[in-house]
Structure 1
Amino acid sequence: MAHLRFSWVLSGPGWAKCTVSDDEAEAEVTASYITAAPEGLLTAVSRLIVGETECRVQFEAEPTAFRWIFRRQGTRVWIRLLEMVHGGDHDNAGTVIWSTQQDIDVVARAVIRCFDEVAGKYGEGAYRGKWREDFPRAELEALRAAWRAYRGDWAAS
């Protein structure tokens, strides 16, 4: 079975550490609340589930940025994580700090599990107090619904 793990740890007021790993490597990136980083990640995976072939999310770490690039072909997703000196730069200016290829089902499960763990660890009230924005409940539930529909369609075929 493929291994993919995401974690989201609130590290200070308005700051989070996101760790991602597979069987080969691990990367840790920082995100600031100045952008909708968790909402963007959840929405990108939802969009992949419903058939988009490329999605991007950027975490701002002031001044560094971390850009997630997701490309889907069939049921496979290639994820590249770039470190950008300047967030507005072209992808080619970034440094790949982690990449993986996974099944879309594995990606969705890992991201859903991550944010379910966040909700369980902090609770939505404490999350808002630490992150300074609401827990991304709507985006998490939209991803969960898209994944369930995908699994239902997949299981029926």
Structure 2
Amino acid sequence: MSLRWMLAGSGWADCIVADDQAEAEVTASYITAAPEELLTATARLVLGEEQTRAQFEAEPTAFRWNFYRGGNDVWVRLLELPDGRRHDNAGTEVWSSWQTIDTLARAVIRCFDDVARRYDESGYHGKWGAPFPRLELEALRTAWRNHTARPPQPE
């Protein structure tokens, strides 16, 4: 799995998610805390939550990431909705994939490490319009390290 976050203009980002089967490109606006939501949702999964989600607003379109965990695997389902207040049933699936918790966490961490290197934190803030999500990135990194340090649990 791979994930790329590219600042596309003042307050806009393009996010490309892919696995070996398919790829999708979605847009996010700074009007919501899209990167923080994605990082936090991933951390929650690593910490054991079975279901969580994140949402990117693209004004008026929204892209909703739904995550369903089963053991060490996660089904990631990405929906495009005409309006972010709508139910999942109003959306169209643009990408889905089964990934391990480890693969998902590594992809999200690598993505935002790359963002920090590419733009540096002050450049990110200037272009995105909000501070770099350092706290959420480090919380995910800590949760993932603790997860990988534990012996495998029986399912």
Residue number in structure 2 paired with 1:109: 106
Residue number in structure 2 paired with 1:18: 15
Residue number in structure 2 paired with 1:142: 139
Gaps of 5+ in 2: none
Q: What is the number of equivalent residue pairs in this alignment?
A: 154
Gaps of 5+ in 1: none
Amino acid at match of 1:30: T
Taking the TM superposition and a 5 Å limit, the aligned residue runs for 1:66-77 are: 66-77=63-74
State TM-score, norm by structure 2: 0.97
RMSD: 1.2
Distance 1:144 1:85 in 2: 33
Distance 1:40 1:153 in 2: 25
Amino acid at match of 1:130: K
Where has structure 1 moved over 3 Å in runs of 4 or more?
154-157
SS at match of 1:63: coil
Residue number in structure 1 paired with 2:27: 30
State TM-score, norm by structure 1: 0.96
Is 1:40 aligned with 2:21?
no
SS at match of 1:123: helix
Residue number in structure 2 paired with 1:81: 78
Distance 2:72 2:31 in 1: 33
